[in-house]
Amino acid sequence: MIETKNLTKKFGNFTAVENLSLSIDHGESYGFLGPNGSGKTTTILMLLGVLKPTSGEVKIEGQSVQTDSFNLKKKIGVVAEYQKYYDEMTAWEYIQFFADLYEVADKEAKANLLFDRLGLEKWKNVLIKGYSTGMQKKLGFARALIHSPQLLILDEPVSGLDPFSITQVRELLLDVKSKGCALLISSHILSEIEKLVDRVGIIYKGNLIAQDTMQGLRHMVGQRNYLQLSFKTINQAQIQNFADLSFVKKIETKSNQLKLFIDQDTEEYRAEIGQLILKNDLVVLELEKKEPNLEETFITITENNFKQIADQVSSTGEKNE
Amino acid sequence: MNKQKMKQQMHAILVLQKRMSQTRFWGVGIFLVMSISFIIASVLLINQLNYTQTNTILLEKEIMLIPLIINAILIALYLSFSSMVQIAREYEQGTYELLLYGPMDEKTFLLGYFISQIKIFLICLLATILWTLICIRQLNLALQPELFLIFLLSLLMTTQLISFGILFASISRNTRTSVIYFSLTMLFLAGIALADTIISRLVTITVSTANDPLLIVRDVLATINSVIQWVSPFSLMVNAINAALDQVWSIFTFNSVLILIEIILLLSISIWTIRRKGVRAA
């Protein structure tokens, strides 16, 4: 659906995005993560053909955005972080204006359907300036979807929405995804990203430092699933017995709580843990299997990268001295 | 440029101009300006007729000339101001960026605004023509063919002024700044021409010696005015109208072509400027 090859954008001496290559297929959702100022927005503007890359190219359906921007832009929908609207328009007029711009056939039926799905039908004839932040955000979704795009770019899609609206929007997004629309989601609300995306790309200082499925990313940074055990009491010797188990790769303790990091959660391993509990006469209050969430993975990846860069800088400094 | 892209650009321009025209006609601004300009034009016309009757001297070759010029200038100033403010607001509120996410580019965006303002002026011009015909019929005046050249030139002047407004909005991208700079420029253009006329008349009445400082002021103003005349929409229009009334067609054509060249130049600079500045402030 969309593909970038060695996309680079420089502003004077500053490189905002460097050699970024990514691709998203039809019906795939891609989480585009990165700290503030990492180059996410610059990349999105280049994908939209609004910003011209210094080098590299963006292709949508095999065609370059720079050469056929009008046709290709019609295939893209955008929900920006901050909503932009015309003061003097009602929500209905606003959507109709964009439907005209995108040459949407049956625009009134489509607008009604979207207003209905987003719970805005009662307020469609109200001036947008009278809308709350959440309602404006939902109107942004209606605008982005009115022309049934094949690629939907979402920048902080759920910020400013209440939990009920988040569910409404999530269902709508999963629905359009199931119909073959590709999603590119950029957000800092990683718990929400986790629920929506198939693959994640992490951009840091203009470089795409990691790109994989959630499981692949965890594997990449060496994050493992873990069993979390809470005991009534446990002493140091007993903790050591758990640490000595052959399949336990790492152990973390916090008062009477143990985190046993393992590669696989098998019945055999659980049986061994059970025997050890019985042998040590321990009282188990809680046993839970956990896996690292996207937030932990993101922090590990960006921190590791930061350390690598810092190491490179210090080693260069030492050499210079 | 391929045919399909041109068709899509044309579509985007038409959608944008339709929205802008609707917005303009839903507001009271244009109706207020038209009413004021017709009142002023009517008062000027009556005064001229009274003066002519009392003194039996015809001040202008075409008695409708000054009322029509004033009427056109007022409407043109309003339209150029409003297009400038609206474009600047599109930048400020981020809707310009939003439009560029879709099937639109910088050129279609500016041309959409440009054409919407021309369309509004053409509607105002129809009202002006109607007003002129009524005046001519009621006051039993002669309908001179040069009047239609005045209408054509007022359209050219308005188009040039709108292009000026678009250029100011593209450069400043801020409502307040563009309004200040545009107002100062228009005041400068009109002020120099007015001061030049007044000083020239004063010199002929009061100056007795060749070393009078008023002569130096007159010469400076005349020099500045002679340069400005090639740029100012008001001067170019007045020059072309005078040439039309005197039936000096070479000067009329020259000034009209100059206005057209300046319109194309101003729009091209505006498009180049917004492309260079990008969608967001750096």
The share of chain B scoring above pLDDT 70, in percent, equals: 93
**Measured between beta carbons, which residues in chain A are less than 8 angstroms from residue B93?**
84-87
The alpha carbon of residue A196 is apart from the nearest alpha carbon of chain B, in Å, by 23
pLDDT by residue, tens only, chain A of 321 residues: 788 888 999 888 888 898 899 889 999 999 988 888 888 888 988 888 888 889 998 888 888 887 777 888 899 999 987 778 887 889 999 999 999 999 999 999 999 999 999 999 999 999 998 888 889 999 999 999 999 999 999 988 888 888 888 888 888 999 999 999 999 998 877 777 777 888 888 888 888 887 888 777 766 665 667 788 888 888 888 888 888 888 888 888 888 888 887 777 778 888 888 888 888 888 888 888 777 666 667 677 666 665 565 555 455 444 444
pTM for the structure as a whole: 0.80
Interchain CB contact of B1 with A (< 8 Å):
no
| Residue A11 tokens, joined | 């502003």
DSSP state of A283: -
Q: Check residue A294 and give its pLDDT.
A: 67
Q: What radius of gyration do chain A's Cα atoms show?
A: 25
**Measured between beta carbons, which residues in chain A are less than 8 angstroms from residue B95?**
84-86
**Measured between beta carbons, which residues in chain B are less than 8 angstroms from residue A86?**
93, 95
What torsion, rounded to 10 degrees, do the Cα atoms B80, B119, B96, A108 define? Answer: 150
Q: Check residue B38 and give its pLDDT.
A: 93
Q: How far apart are CA B24 and CA B17, in angstroms?
A: 10
Q: How far apart are CA A228 and CA A32, in angstroms?
A: 30
pLDDT tens for B124-143 read: 999 999 999 999 888 888 78
B55-to-A237, B48, B61 alpha-carbon distances in Å: 122, 10, 15
Neighbours of B257 (CB within 10 A): 12
Q: Check residue A272 and give its pLDDT.
A: 85
Cβ distance A71 to B278 less than 8 Å, yes or no, reads no
Interchain CB contact of A76 with B (< 8 Å):
yes
Neighbours of A183 (CB within 10 A): 23
- Which of A261-270, B4-13, B237-246 is least confident? A261-270
Counting one residue from chain A and one from chain B, the pairs whose CB atoms sit within 8 A come to 63
Interchain CB contact of A67 with B (< 8 Å):
no
Q: Check residue A8 and give its pLDDT.
A: 92
pLDDT tens for A185-244 read: 988 777 777 778 888 888 888 888 878 887 777 666 656 677 888 888 888 888 888 888
Quick one: closest CA in B to A82, which residue?
B94
Chain B, residues 97-116, CB within 8 A of chain A, namely 97-105
- Burial of A132 (C-beta count, 10 Å sphere; 0-12/13-18/19+): exposed
Distance of CA B282 to the CA centre of its chain: 33
| Closest to A15 (Cα-Cα) out of A287, A205, A151 | A205
**Measured between beta carbons, which residues in chain B are less than 8 angstroms from residue A97?**
15, 19
Residue B97 has pLDDT above 70, yes or no: yes
pLDDT tens for A160-181 read: 888 888 888 888 999 999 999 9
Cβ distance A74 to B94 less than 8 Å, yes or no, reads no
Q: Check residue A311 and give its pLDDT.
A: 57
Interchain CB contact of B29 with A (< 8 Å):
no
Report which secondary-structure segment, H or E, holds A117.
Answer: helix A107-117
